[in-house]
Every structure is written in C-alpha cells, then in structure tokens.
Chains A and B, each alone.
Chain A
Amino acid sequence: MTAEQPLVRVTDLKTHFPIRAGLLRRQVGTVYAVDGVSFSIDEYQTLGVVGESGCGKTTLGRSILRLEQPTSGSVLFDGVEITTMPVGDLRRKRSDMQFVFQDPYASLNSRWPVNDIVGEPLRVHGVSKAETKSRVGELLKAVGLLPEHGNRYPHEFSGGQRQRIGIARALALRPRLIILDEPVSALDVSVQAQVINLLEQLQDEFGLTYMFIAHDLSVVHHISDRIMVMYLGHVMESAEATDVYSAPAHPYTHALLSAAPVADPDIEATRRRIVLEGDLPSPAAPPSGCPFRTRCPLATEKCAAEVPELTEITPGHVVACHYPLEPGQRLVDVAAAAAHR
C-alpha cells in the first residue's frame, strides 16, 4: 500500500504571525505557531494531532486548507501544491477539502434554517436548486437527522445535533479530506461517543480521509490510525496509534499520557504520575534548541544547544529527541537515573 502517493504530504511547513505594535503597526515580534512541520496522510486513513493549547495544531489544520497563508513550506494534496495555488483554483479545490469547527454554537449561522446551512456549499459550487434540496435531505439522513429538521434553526438543536449539522455541511461537496478541529470537546460525555461513532461510520461509507485535531489523547487514540504529537509548533513524535500508546519514545508523550486521568480507580491508584514543572513557553519566544527542554526532566546542555531532528527509530515511528526512551522504560525511572548521574 505504500507505493501509492499519500493524499496529503506536508513538507517543512511554517506559519508565522507578525506581532505588531505602536502607531505605525511596526512588527515587534513573531509568533512561531507552526515551525517546520512535515508529515503525510494516506488516503482513507485518520491522522490524529494532539497537543496542548499553543502547540499549533489548529493553525496547522487551517494552514493545510489555506485558511491561514503558510509562511513557507509545501502542502501537496493529491500531488497538487496548495500553498502557491491561485485563489480561483484554490476555491474549486476546496470542495475536496473541508473543515469542521470546534464550537457547534458559533460555527453555524443562527439566522439560517438548517437546509440553507447545509446547502450553502452546494449553492456556491453551482449545484441546481432541485438537486441541492434532495442532496441536503440525504446528507441530514447520513448524519442521523431527519429531513424535516432542515426547516428548523440552529438554536432548536442540542450541541450534539449541531455538530451533526456541521458535519453534514462539510460532507455536502463529497470531499476526500476533512480536517476536524476538536469536533467533540464542546460536547457532553454521553454525546461525544455518538459523534465519534458517526465519524467512523461516515469514513467507511464515503471513503474519507481525516485529520483529527484534539487535546484528549483517549479520543484521538480511539479514532486514529496514526498519531502526531505537537509541542510549540514542532512535531515531537509521530507513529501508529498503538505505538504511541504502548511504546512512546518522547518524554513529552510520556508526560501527556501520564497526566491524562483514567476513569478506573484501580489504575489511578497504582500508576505514578509525572507532573511536569512550569508552564508552556510562549510560541512568540520559544526556547533555544528543543522546544520542550524547559519542562523536560531529561534535558541537558545539548538540548539547549541543538534542535533534535525528527528521526525514525522503528519503521513508521519518528521522534524528535536527543534521549528517546526505549519501549518499556518509564520516564520517572529514567529521570531518576539521570538526576542521580
């Protein structure tokens, strides 16, 4: 399966934002939101992107669809360069690439009935009125709503139903890639699972490729084939979902896994949590060398001086760390040994 080209190939993508101040709006600094990210997504696969606030995961998703203009680097979608494509071509190409937003309350126009919301992309792309109507009915059914829901307004729906409407709209143009930005984090626990199941079912039904952005590792682990862990605009580790969970190599991945609470008192009682020191640094003033070194229990002078390259440690498993952990090693033990030395 590897002979085929991936649907998305991102190479050394950077998206920086200027910080302007003063009367003349002179640039006084730069936010390095995405700072040299490379990865690819194969067709019909799901790439999960995890990280904390400010790690650049949302900007990365938006940059791929050019909802933000990348500063440099390349995004190939099905072999076609997106970052430099003329706007007219890009607009047509966007029918292949859709975005689902986090907040189902803010991302739907409250003055439009659901039929218009879901049908808008079809109208924009010149589909006839009659066909739009029948397609909207099919789409609502595909996401588990009834065709008569189409005459209602967003405020008449619960959060989970609103997210279904957002998904129906994203599906309208039969895209190949959907970028989902925290699609379930605003929903109640009992409703989250419904939307996750729906996304998995739609992926099979329509042959979709997903990029699933979230902060919750257990949700990402559930839905993803591969997981990419980001920190301060950089990729820290990327591997098959099961490897990230069972054989994490980057100290930050270890810390993330250990910090996430588990809904099982027996597990909670026996495991040792690694509590990271300090706050996340600002992406406007990232540390020298490895971006994680200021909070890493294993950091040495080398980490401050040299940026670790993303290196393949086993097939398909890449990590950016000078001191990656072996499978089975626990960060607490390695950190204790390092402190002893």
Chain B
Amino acid sequence: MPTPILSVSDLTVSFRTRKGTAEAVRGLSYDLMPGETLAIVGESGSGKSVSALALMGLLPTTATVDGTATFDGNDLFTMKKEQRRKIRGGPMAMIFQDPMTAFNPVHTIGDQLSEAIRIHQPDVSKGDALAEVEHLLRQVGVPEPGRRVHQYPHEFSGGMRQRAMIAMAIANKPVVLLADEPTTALDVTIQAQVMEVLAEAQEATGSAMILITHDLGLVAGTADRVIVMYGGRSFEECATRDVFYESRNPYTRGLLQSIPRLTDERGAALSPIPGSPPSIVSMPKGCAFAPRCVHRTAVCEETSADWEQIDIGHWTRCHHHDELPSFDPRDEVDA
C-alpha cells in the first residue's frame, strides 16, 4: 500500500458571522495518493471550494480551521507560516475558476509567471526564468509564447488565460494540483482544450490532482476517485465507476437522475431532487439532505449518519444505505 501524499483528517472550517458561527466544512477526511485524480463534487454551499482554500491557507481571517492535513509528513495547519509559503505555489499549487481575477492586471503574464518561479527557486536569473516561462506557455499550447509573455492578462482570451494559469501552477513541478472549477467559466469547445492541457500537464509533472467541480460529466472522463459533498460533509467516496453505477447514497443518486442526457426520450420528465441545497447558516439538525430525501425516516431528522465503509474503498454517509433499492442510471427511462 503506497503512502498518501496528502492526508486530510477531520477538517472543519467555520466562519464567524453576525448570526453566529457557520460551519462550511464539517469533519472532512480523505487520502490523496501520488499521481491520482480525486474529484470533489458538490453543489453551491457544499463546502468543496472552502475545503481546498483551507488546504492552501487562503481563507479570510474570519475562518477557523480545525483538523489536520498531513502533507509530506508535516501538518499544514500547524507548521510555520514561512514553511507554508514554500509549499504554496511550489509542491502544492492551485488553479482557480476565474483566471481574470487570479492574475494581477497591471503586470505582464511573463512577469507574473517568472516571479512565481523565482519565489520558489531564488537562484534562477530573471532571464532564465523568462525563458522557462516561454517554454511553459508553449507546453500548455499558448501560440507565439515569445510575444505573449510581454502581454497583459486582458490581452488573453478566457481559454488562453486558463492555460497561462495552468502554466503557472506547474511551473515549480507540484506534487499536488488543486483545480477549483477550472473550466466552469469557459465555453464547451474551449473546456475540452483546457482539460486536455491539464491532463498533459499532470502527466508531465506526475502530480496528483484534486478536481473540484459541480459537473459530473467532467468527473466521468477525468477522475480516478470521487468524493460527493453536501452541506459541508462528505456523503459518498468511491472509485469513479462506482459513483455512477453502484452509488449507495440517495443524494448521489438524486444528482445523477437530475442531469438531462442526450440519450433521454424527448418529452420525458426529469427527476429532480425537490427543494434546494441548505444554506450554511441554517443547516438542518440531523442529516443535511434529510429534508429533500425520499428515503428519510425519523432518525435522519435527528442525527447525521456516520461515515461508514461498505466495501473496499467505498464509503457512504446514510442511515439507510443497506436498504436502498438497486440503482443504475443507465436503466432509467423515466423514474
């Protein structure tokens, strides 16, 4: 059994608000293996992005982080600030959803990428760093990198900016890449390009990736394993195939059933989950999904279920996971 590169245990993130404390992430635990792609899937307010920002140390000061995140033998949350800075953007790098706000508009792409290199490798000269930036931009498919390094972020299209961000993230050969909705702001044909670049970059550096997304389609094509989050908690964790064909969680199943598919019969009604995701300031008392769940009973409204292993590598959080009917969304004609 290889050792995980990143081990998150009982991660809890809470925010102080005027209405009291709101818990955005509640006891999240997972292991990330070297080189693998782990997808964290959830809707708005599920805590998926906050959990990633906590790992990177990028949360505002109103946030309190508890739990441990062991990276390369050290706990990210207790280490010295200086040590953390060396990890951030170096061995652990993040790709953000909106590359327009992630870049500084008053510096050229070349300056920003070469600065990222020189922060982590101070003995590299400015000239060598810029040459490395050109090489990186070429690697992620930015045409004419020699000219492009002197341009500002606004001169790049959305797809090109996202490529530049990937170039910046892989500049210091990371071992963990965190990609937070990396293609959500992009058109579908550009999304296909960027996902390809991301896969190539991952292959070239051999890094593991945490892919945070709401799009189960993206997960199906890229991830090795999946964690489904809801209301700040992990609801299911398993291999990618199992989440689609062997799910043992009512929320995961509900999500799969609500996606319109190109193979659907025209005119067949979709099967949505009733209601809307809970807000973190008014979380239900028991299971966060109980108010929307067709399988709920009295116990669901009282207590949240435990995080239970039901098969090798397959975890779920549901009081009724062993009573759920068999389920394969490929059989669904109209439910």
Contact = CB atoms under 8 A, between A and B. Distances in A.
A160 B260 contact: no
B188 A52 contact: yes
B217 A261 contact: yes
A259 interface: yes
A193 B276 CA distance: 11
B160 A159 contact: no
Nearest to A192: B258
B102 interface: no
Nearest to A262: B217
A143 interface: no
Interface string B175-196: 0000000000001111111001
A198 B145 CA distance: 49
Nearest to A196: B270
Contacts of B258: 189-190, 192-193
Interface in A203-245: 215-219, 221-222, 225, 241-242, 245
A218 B259 contact: yes
Interface string B210-238: 00001111111100000000000000000
Contact of A275 (B196, B218, B259): B196
Contact of B260 (A52, A190, A222, A269): A222
Contact of B43 (A188, A194, A196): A188
B79 interface: no
- Most B-side CB within 10 Å, residue of A189, A194, A276: A189
A66 interface: no
Contact of B244 (A158, A160, A264): A264
Of the four ranges (under 10, 10 to 19, 20 to 34, 35 or more), the interface on chain B belongs to 35 or more
B215 A255 contact: no
A183 to B, nearest CB: 13
Interface string A191-202: 111101100100
A241 B264 CA distance: 11
Contact of A261 (B218, B245, B270, B330): B218
B266 A256 contact: no
A280 interface: yes
A279 B43 CA distance: 29
A255 B188 CA distance: 10
A262 B261 contact: yes
A98 interface: no
A197 B273 CA distance: 12
A264 B196 contact: no
Kindly list the 6 A-B residue pairs having the minimum CB-CB distance in the complex, ordered from nearest: A261-B217, A193-B272, A193-B258, A52-B187, A268-B221, A193-B270
24 contacts: A52-B187, A159-B44, A159-B276, A160-B276, A189-B214, A190-B255, A190-B292, A191-B276, A192-B258, A194-B272, A194-B274, A200-B267, A215-B187, A217-B262, A255-B189, A258-B192, A261-B220, A262-B261, A263-B256, A264-B329, A267-B220, A273-B192, A275-B192, A279-B190
Interface of A: 52-53, 158-161, 188-194, 196-197, 200, 215-219, 221-222, 225, 241-242, 245, 255-265, 267-269, 273, 275-276, 279-280, 295
